[in-house]
Amino acid sequence: MQTDHERWMEQALHLAERAFEEGEVPVGAVVVHEGRVIGKGCNQNEQLRDPTAHAEIIAITAAANTLGSKWLENCTLYVTLEPCAMCAGAIVLARIPTLVFGAYDAKAGACGTLRNIVEDNRLNHTVHVVPGVSDDRSTALLKSFFGTLRGNTDLTDRTD
């Protein structure tokens, strides 16, 4: 039986697959408010030639436009990969109360792995984090992407 978190993460995974097909690092994100998706995005760094065009930033911007507010209170962000410092900062600034992510990011994770920006009590907002939802699928997608990029299909124990 699929949980609500898994159901919404499934949508983020579809966006990550789309990013993969477009030659982007396969990360997808959706913002859910009152049982419906109000913002979605996938990585578009290469396509837009923009280092800030991460899935989370695109989804947060779309959600803010949908609600007509910079505050995304009563929303949940679902993302297939643990957010980096930039995205974690955006999550805090948008006052998103809940973050659900898939795979941990050993090289850039800022929501528990390398640092924990979203749960830092010194900031004006903290976020409840639910890690590891559908992490096996998120990790497999990342391994496949980087394996294809490097021409190496045997990438056991590597997600970079």
56 given a catalytic annotation:
yes
Which one of 10, 24, 46, 56 is the catalytic residue?
A: 56
**Do residues 138 and 10 make contact, with C-beta atoms less than 8 angstroms apart?**
no
DSSP-assigned letters across all residues of 116-153: BSTT-TTSS---EEE--TTHHHHHHHHHHHHHHHHT--
Torsion of CA 86, 81, 53, 109, to 10 degrees: 20
**Which residues are known catalytic residues?**
56
